[in-house]
Amino acid sequence: MKFARITTDPNRMGGVPCIRDLRIPVATIVAMVADGMSEQEILEAYPDLESEDIREALRYAAEAVQERELPLRVS
C-alpha cells in the first residue's frame, strides 16, 4: 500500500514517519485520536494538517501493526 502523505527522511526527525514533511509524526496524530480528540480538535492544534492526513496516519498505523507481533499481557 502506498502512503502519499507519509514521509520519512533520515536527516529529519530521526527518520520518524511524518505527515507530508511537516515534522508532525504519525505517532503524534495516532496518539491524539487514541486520547479521544476529534478530527476538528486535531486540525485546530495543527493548522497545517488536512483531514486526509489524519485518515492516512491511521491507515499507516494499522498497516504497521499488521507487520509484526506485539507482546500482549495475559490477564
- For 56-65, write each residue's pLDDT tens digit: 999 999 998 8
Three-state DSSP class for 10?
coil
Task: Judge whether 57 lies within some domain.
Answer: yes
- Measured CA angle at 1 (ends 65, 8), to 5 deg: 75
Instruction: Assess whether pLDDT exceeds 90 at residue 74.
Output: no
Task: Judge whether 75 lies within some domain.
Answer: no
Domain that holds residue 27: 6-66
Task: Judge whether 71 lies within some domain.
Answer: no
Quote the number of domains for the chain. Answer: 1
pTM listed for this prediction: 0.85
Task: Judge whether 74 lies within some domain.
Answer: no
Burial letters 45-72, b for 16+ CB under 10 A, else e? ebeebeeebbebbeebbeeeeeeeeeee
Task: Judge whether 72 lies within some domain.
Answer: no
Task: Judge whether 34 lies within some domain.
Answer: yes
Contact call for residues 52 and 59 (beta carbons, < 8 A): no
Which CATH number covers residue 45? Answer: 1.10.10.10
Mean pLDDT (whole number) for 52-57: 97
